[in-house]
Amino acid sequence: MQKFFSDAVEFFPILLQGVWLTVVVTIGSLALSTVFGLFWALLRVSGIGVLASLSAGLINVIRGIPIIVLLFFLYFVMPDFGVALTALQASILGLGIAYSAYQSENFRAGIEAIDKGQIEAAQTIGMGWWLTMRRVVLPQAIKIVLPPYGNIMIMMLKDSSQASTITVAELALQGKLIASSTFKNTSVFTLVALMYLTMSIPLILLVRHFEKKANRK
């Protein structure tokens, strides 16, 4: 135990650099997946057949490819087509695209949960599609969508470790590098696990808060 603490004091600052990248990857891909996911979901409920099936097909393609393969594709294959991304860019883009499929299904469920009668009522006072979305549907859908959204945040935080496979030195990769050079596997990976857990706890509390709020209504 004492040994763990002395190791922890030694490795903590190095791992903290990894934490910074973990946070950057998580927030970046969260933002990207939210924007993409909302866009796919709006296409899906647009009522325009071509756009809806395009979105549905795209979501299935994204869902059917493992995140790690998507990352390899962006980082190792895209340069062949003249698109060279840095490892950080590729990991944010890859995770963002991968998660946009789940975000989209979540948003769609929230949007479709709103009573059709309200949408008709909005139409009868002259609101168009977008105005109805913005003023009637989305403000209510957001309450339904938030608890699962929080869960997606937690999953993204953990899946950001997949960026290590394309050389992004985030927390997991920093841990692996220290472990392989010091052979202190137990201390290092225990510390890494604790650091992920520490970052998850505020998110878990946030989800609980969202759920309470959603149930109150």
Partner 1 sequence: MIELTDIYKSFGKVEVLKGISASIAKREVVCIIGPSGSGKSTILRCINGLESYDRGDIRIEGIRVDRNAPSIVSVRTQVSMVFQRFNLFPHRTALENVIAGPIYVKKEPRAEALERGRALLERVGLSEKADVYPPQLSGGQQQRVAIARALAMQPKAILFDEPTSALDPELVGDVLGVMRKLADDGMTMVVVTHEMAFAKDVADRVLFIDGGVIVEQGPAKSVLNQPQHARTQDFLRRVLHPL
Binding site for partner 1 (CB under 8 A): 115, 117-118, 120-128, 131, 135-136, 139-140
In angstroms, the Cα distances linking 58 to 101, 188, 202 are: 8, 40, 33
Structure tokens at 62: 């994204």
Taking the C-alpha atoms of residue 104 and residue 36, their distance in angstroms, rounded to an integer, is 8
What is the smallest separation between the CB atom of 172 and partner 1, expressed in angstroms?
A: 42
The distance from CA 115 to its chain's CA centroid, rounded to whole angstroms, is 28
Q: Which is nearer to partner 1, 140 or 190 (CB)?
A: 140
Of 142 and 205, which CB lies nearer to partner 1 in the complex structure?
A: 142
To partner 1, the closest distance from the beta carbon of 161 in angstroms equals: 38
- Number of separate helices (H) and strands (E) present in the chain: 9, 0
Rounded-to-integer distance, Cα 12 and Cα 111, Å = 44
Q: What whole-number distance in Å separates Cα of residue 64 and Cα of residue 143?
A: 29
> How far apart are CB 215 and partner 1 at their closest, in Å?
15
C-alpha separations of 162 from 25, 28, 78, 153, 197 in Å: 10, 14, 18, 15, 17
Shortest distance (Å) from residue 141 CB to partner 1: 10
CB of 142 to partner 1, least distance (A): 10
C-beta of 146: minimal distance to partner 1 in Å? 14
Nearer to partner 1, 131 or 205 (CB): 131
User: Which CB atom, from 123 or from 200, has the smaller least distance to partner 1?
Assistant: 123
In this complex, which beta carbon is closest to partner 1, that of residue 57 or of residue 128? 128
Residue with Cβ nearer partner 1 (140 or 151): 140
- Report the length, in residues, of the chain: 217
Which ranges constitute the DSSP H helices of 45-184?
Answer: 49-64, 67-72, 87-112, 116-124, 129-132, 138-159, 171-182
Helices 49-64, 87-112: axis angle to 10 degrees equals: 130
In angstroms, give the least distance from the CB of 132 to partner 1. Answer: 10
Q: Which is nearer to partner 1, 57 or 139 (CB)?
A: 139
